[in-house]
Structure 1
């Protein structure tokens, strides 16, 4: 009964309101030789408010480029990016990023790192510290406020990164291979921590990963990009698994296994194309 209640609560959280829209997006770069390299070609993709969407695809297909476009770090060559129905121009001010590399300042304590975003927005130190303490507790680091990053494990430093990002209450959370450097057990703990925090917010999540199992375990939808160059959306799969989820346990669900087989059949072809292209260019 509790699971049914949780599932209803979750479904009410995701709305039909588009938060992120990529409309006919093409991204080209100019090589040193003067040749034009097309990374993405005519990408059409929508992420709804409160939705968790993962992007998978072979190496070099433009996953990180897509995230950079949504963040406003890059501009599309053709097409447009819309955020809350407004064309994105410049940096996406309602988005925050969590990358694979650590972004904590090594000379600052946990509480100083976590509170920094609020301090930069003009909040006084005492108020920022109080809010930082709340988020430090949420991510399971209560008691480590005065520690420095080098005194923490890799998983704990990733928790600091989450707290740093979420304390500013972004409406869009952009994550690029955020847990890939962690060992498998710590990775599962962090994935569950992310889901727990996300389910308490209305943030839309755009999550990049090379791990198809991770994508399915976390997401509402998994989007497959084709092999580059000129990658496009090849498949868009709804992940109709009940929430809340335990990312380690859900992998044994027969429905999970069926989804994995279906998506992998789509993804495998692109991986092989990418591999053949890499070999031919050596």
Structure 2
């Protein structure tokens, strides 16, 4: 079947344990009023090792909650999260996170920030610095080892954040709107940088974005969530575009445009439902 003939994508590697798997996951919170608020309902996602998956959906649909469940910051109310076939209990030690906000310590230099993860794992300072220098070079910051975050541009700080996470060689990279605060040109540079480094590793990536073009440009799969509360999976699309990709150029590919139209038809309906619900609540 072609990329557009099959709406729900089933990985080819079902015979092996998935790197990440959500089985029948429901997540509820108790409101101050005592009411139960269901964020996610019966979510089933299976992500093989090395796959790049993006998740999109209207505001408030539970994208960040899904990431928190995989990170182990939250526990599901029902169902389970499996990492390499084992039930996740507590924080996911195999995962590293890159958030929208800065996670560099402002009083530490670039090399101190980047080497911190290794130092916390007991690596000697000299060895951690040696490895940090390699990653600083890989993300294009050679020569900035002694700079502080306040002396760097937004894009450069984001490169530091990537190096901070990737130096510990995580099996899972969790990214929540990681590039949304950047200007469009810097954003495209960072997206290309991410793809280049990801293709050199075997990390599985779970990427949250509001930008459907970004999701398609980067990913092997794009998952669409319905409007909340009680969000479910509406579509799971295989992005069968050639790699390596240039995110600026791939958007002009006819196959990209066709995928964008199809997924947007799904997403637009959910955005309108969410918008109507928000307006109803505010009146």
Deviations 1:104-150 (A, max 9, x none): 00000000000000000001100000000000000000000000000
Rounded Cα–Cα distance in structure 2 between residues aligned with 1:46 and 1:206? 11
Aligned twin of 1:183: 183
Determine if the alignment matches structure 1 residue 136 to structure 2 residue 103.
no
Aligned twin of 2:68: 68
Deviations 1:15-61 (A, max 9, x none): 65411100000000000000000000000011110000000000000
Aligned twin of 1:279: 279
Give runs of aligned pairs for residues 69-218 of structure 1, distance below 5 A: 69-218=69-218
Rounded Cα–Cα distance in structure 2 between residues aligned with 1:207 and 1:48? 14
Rounded Cα–Cα distance in structure 2 between residues aligned with 1:21 and 1:123? 31
Aligned twin of 1:267: 267
Deviations 1:216-251 (A, max 9, x none): 000000000000000000000000000000000000
Runs of 4+ displaced beyond 6 Å? none
Contact 1:97/1:173, CA 8 A, preserved across alignment: yes
Find the residue that maps to 2:129 and give its secondary structure.
Answer: helix
TM-score normalised according to structure 1 size? 0.95
Rounded Cα–Cα distance in structure 2 between residues aligned with 1:74 and 1:106? 28
Determine if the alignment matches structure 1 residue 234 to structure 2 residue 202.
no
Contact 1:136/1:163, CA 8 A, preserved across alignment: yes
Rounded Cα–Cα distance in structure 2 between residues aligned with 1:234 and 1:23? 16
Rounded Cα–Cα distance in structure 1 between residues aligned with 2:164 and 2:45? 28
TM-score normalised according to structure 2 size? 0.94
Rounded Cα–Cα distance in structure 1 between residues aligned with 2:249 and 2:217? 9
Aligned twin of 2:220: 220
Aligned twin of 1:5: none
Contact 1:49/1:203, CA 8 A, preserved across alignment: yes
Rounded Cα–Cα distance in structure 2 between residues aligned with 1:104 and 1:22? 30
Structure 2's unaligned 5+ residue stretches are: 1-11
Contact 1:15/1:49, CA 8 A, preserved across alignment: no
Deviations 1:151-183 (A, max 9, x none): 000000000000000000000000000000000
CA RMSD of superposed structures (Å): 0.8
Rounded Cα–Cα distance in structure 2 between residues aligned with 1:140 and 1:243? 22
Contact 1:15/1:50, CA 8 A, preserved across alignment: no
Aligned twin of 1:6: none
Rounded Cα–Cα distance in structure 2 between residues aligned with 1:74 and 1:25? 12
